[in-house]
Structure 1
Amino acid sequence: MIPIKPVSTLAPGVPKSTIDLTHIPLDVASKYLAPGSLSFSALPPLSLYIHFPWCVRKCPYCDFNSHEVKGSFDENTYLSALRADLESSLPLVWGRKIHTVFIGGGTPSLMSAAGLDRLLSDIRTLLPIDSDAEITMESNPGTFETDKFRSYRQSGVNRLSIGIQSFHSGHLSSLGRIHDGDEARRAVEIAQAHFDNFNLDLMFALPGQTLDEVHQDVDAALAFAPPHLSLYHLTLEPNTYFAKYPPVIPDDDLSAEMQDVIHARMSDAGYFNYEVSAYAKPGKQAKHNLNYWNFGDYLGIGAGAHSKLTFPHRIVRQARYKQPQTFMEASLKGNAVQEAAEIEVADLGFEFMLNTLRLHQGFSVNLFQERTSLLLNSIEKELLEAESKGLLSRDHQRIAPTPLGRRFLNDLQQLFLKE
């Protein structure tokens, strides 16, 4: 049974007070809903996200759902809870194929080789997965063991995403990372030995970082010829240690100069900046993330995981319980979902543009109606305003942010936010 927030759109003649949709499966609850304006002729591609919530140490900049390991964690119970969560979700995705799998965290590489093998075996048992599906696992230096990563590869993981952040030991210390520069390099070497496809995460505009040090970090990463690089600007997120005790970071002018240097260096090395923070060699874009940015569907299982699922006449978002212990208890009782709600029709245009405008090449005109069930003219006023400000370009085939729009992406996206 899936908890659903009561909706305001009821069939004619049905008093709202007489219907409790809080614990009715979606397919049953739908008969109480009035026919809406949404009608999808085909469902978008479906990805699977699995959240592993534990870390060795909580980084001061991190606002993800991660929890420090206090001695140990109950891997077996958590894996059982993941399976139970997936089993409870099957009616929502019945008959749909999984195109990509992403195991994120937290630090999933804390999982044992046997645990990872059990997890992927459970997934294959319960869901149809594409034969060439991209299966990514996040990992952090300091948790790399050659034998364990060899086993991960044999179990079916075919792409790693490694949280390097920097090759500079001093900056790693200021970020609260558990590894140093030498361990970062060793982690990449182990990844290279077992994986053809991997991503390196780097951050810039770090406390006390100079332009020359940004050069050094990028060059150190490029020396490994990674198929994919993600380069993130450090942001001081709410509810983090850095938000409470903010460090001195490069000002806007210096951080913009850093970003320009990164872009030039990556372009010279043959990488395409296909998304705001993502650079890839040809054909090595992150398929899982591309599905997010193209407003595809994803089923999220695990503590704090989110889902976006399309049905013939609506799109629903879900959120799981965040605390690992609470999640395990709830999931093993058959109800890991803490809340679920339909996306309001008025919000669909903004949500679509919030994602797709992150892509350098934008989106095909037809994709808007395919993924929102709305006509493109529903956002015509906003498109015209974005064009008039030089933030957007479009023709009969494609809509994309201009170089100015990419630089001021937040301003561009906010134009589509309905009042």
Structure 2
Amino acid sequence: MSTHPTSDAGFGVYVHWPFCASKCPYCDFNSHVRREPPDEARFAAAFAREIAHAAALAPGRRVTSVFLGGGTPSLMRPQTVGAILDAIGGAWSVAPDAEITLEANPTSVEAERFAGYRAAGVNRVSLGVQAMNDADLKALGRMHSAQEAMAAVAIAARHFERYSFDLIYARPGHTPQAWAAELEQAIARAVEHLSLYQLTIEPGTWFETLHRAGKLVIPDADTARALWDVTQETCDKAGMPAYEISNHARPGAQSRHNLVYWRYGEYAGIGPGAHGRIVTNEGRVALSTERHPETWLGLVERDGNGIVEREVLGAEAQGDEFLLMGLRLTEGIDPARFTALSGRVLDPRRISALVADGLIRQHPDGRLAVTAEGFPVLDAVVADLAA
């Protein structure tokens, strides 16, 4: 393990709570709505069993971050969150300064639980605000008002050392001028971190159905690019530049858990539909669990884990994943690490061509980073370098 090229990137634990009060029309995540609340005690016990199994696969690690995602983890009782964190602490050593993040919906009911989450060990929350006005929140299928969301942000600020919230831009009818004003309002409340996602039409969502029927029109490519430019300019001016293609933070306030992913560290995936990357004696192993919550629950209760896919990643796959994840970061990647993972050297001619086109830059220490011009065409840049 100590000789793996990215062993210094940290070890994270991702826990997936798959339930939501309602399904947002743009969402393609593994989230499920149930008429009756799930049996939290039963699920907590299953999480603990899968955590123990993951610890057997990756023993002796030091947990640098935990992320409770979903779904809607803030639908869990604080006692359930505490039980999950206790299970993680019993399976591995946890760094004293570990970042423990919980995703939350900014409804008044869920915000009332924030004190309980803090007492359970959570030290950072990520709030799904998504828009700063009621009309767009309704169009996005959100269950909170703008006023309720800002009240939840204020409550988060009282209980947590660190907090962040998400916004979606390039919404139907969204203009650069309106987005700039909304973004300035958000920055004033976010303090240290914002996640800003461009609305995309995902397969299998209700928005896809509406879009195909011509009942949902999103901004065209030129407007989307203008919205992207406004995002960068406004956040840069406010001292909250992008450190990743969709994430902005003040210096030192980056999401440490997400940096584990993007720097190609190790992470255990716990819960329905979770993914993990663990380094074993066989090499780096990709693991995926059963997506359906109740089916996952049955598997864990029977076998001790819900893993349904396991793949030992070859050198080429590791190199491709390293590029795909690392080039999302404004800090870029170390080509020497790519070589250590993939067994080959990045083509100097392709690097020179991309530099000449203004899509990547090469730092004096040799690191390669995508430029502001390159980020809107990131997939093409990654494909070119990986070829």
Q: With the length of structure 1 as denominator, give the TM-score of the two structures.
A: 0.85
1:345 aligns with 2:315: yes
Q: Residues 210-229 of structure 1 correspond to what in structure 2 (within 5 A)? A: 210-229=175-194
Q: Counterpart of 1:392?
A: 360
Q: Residues 34-183 of structure 1 correspond to what in structure 2 (within 5 A)? A: 40=4, 43-44=7-8, 45-142=10-107, 144-183=109-148
- Name the SS for the 2:90 alignment partner: helix
How far the C-alpha of 1:170 sits from its partner, in A, is: 0.5
Q: Residues 137-286 of structure 1 correspond to what in structure 2 (within 5 A)? A: 137-142=102-107, 144-246=109-211, 247-286=216-255
Deviations 1:137-195 (A, max 9, x none): 00011264454211111111011000000011111111111111111111111111111
What count of residue pairs does the alignment treat as equivalent?
Answer: 378
Q: Is the 8 A contact 1:201 1:230 kept in 2?
A: yes
How far the C-alpha of 1:386 sits from its partner, in A, is: 3.1
Whichever residue aligns with residue 274 of structure 1, its letter is Y
Deviations 1:66-108 (A, max 9, x none): 0013231111111111111111222211111111100000000
Query: Which is higher, the Rg of structure 1 or of structure 2?
Result: 1
- How high is the sequence identity, in percent, across the aligned residues? 36
Q: Is the 8 A contact 1:349 1:416 kept in 2?
A: no
5+ residue gaps, structure 1, are: 1-38
Q: Is the 8 A contact 2:6 2:265 kept in 1?
A: no
Q: Is the 8 A contact 1:293 1:359 kept in 2?
A: yes
Q: Residues 26-37 of structure 1 correspond to what in structure 2 (within 5 A)? A: none
> In the alignment, which of 368, 383, 387 is matched to residue 414 of structure 1?
383
Whichever residue aligns with residue 51 of structure 1, its letter is H
Whichever residue aligns with residue 165 of structure 1, its letter is Q
Whichever residue aligns with residue 413 of structure 1, its letter is V
Structure 1 residues 416 and 144, CA gap change in structure 2 (3 angstroms) = farther
Q: Is the 8 A contact 2:279 2:285 kept in 1?
A: yes
Distance 1:176 1:147 in 2: 22
- Name the SS for the 1:267 alignment partner: helix
Whichever residue aligns with residue 277 of structure 1, its letter is S
Q: Is the 8 A contact 1:54 1:66 kept in 2?
A: yes
- Name the SS for the 2:268 alignment partner: strand
Distance 1:196 1:90 in 2: 29
Deviations 1:172-225 (A, max 9, x none): 111111111111111111111111211110110012223333123212212214
Q: Counterpart of 1:358?
A: 328
Distance 2:201 2:23 in 1: 15
Whichever residue aligns with residue 346 of structure 1, its letter is E
Q: Is the 8 A contact 2:315 2:342 kept in 1?
A: no
How far the C-alpha of 1:41 sits from its partner, in A, is: 7.0
5+ residue gaps, structure 2, are: none
Which moved further from structure 2: 158-167 or 144-153? 144-153
> In the alignment, which of 311, 316, 337 is matched to residue 367 of structure 1?
337
1:329 aligns with 2:298: yes
Structure 1 residues 58 and 219, CA gap change in structure 2 (3 angstroms) = same
- Name the SS for the 2:189 alignment partner: coil
- Name the SS for the 2:277 alignment partner: strand
How far the C-alpha of 1:320 sits from its partner, in A, is: 0.3
Q: With the length of structure 2 as denominator, give the TM-score of the two structures.
A: 0.92
Which moved further from structure 2: 272-281 or 308-317? 308-317
Distance 1:342 1:388 in 2: 37
- Name the SS for the 1:329 alignment partner: helix
Deviations 1:340-387 (A, max 9, x none): 1122322222211111111112123443345x2635x25556434533
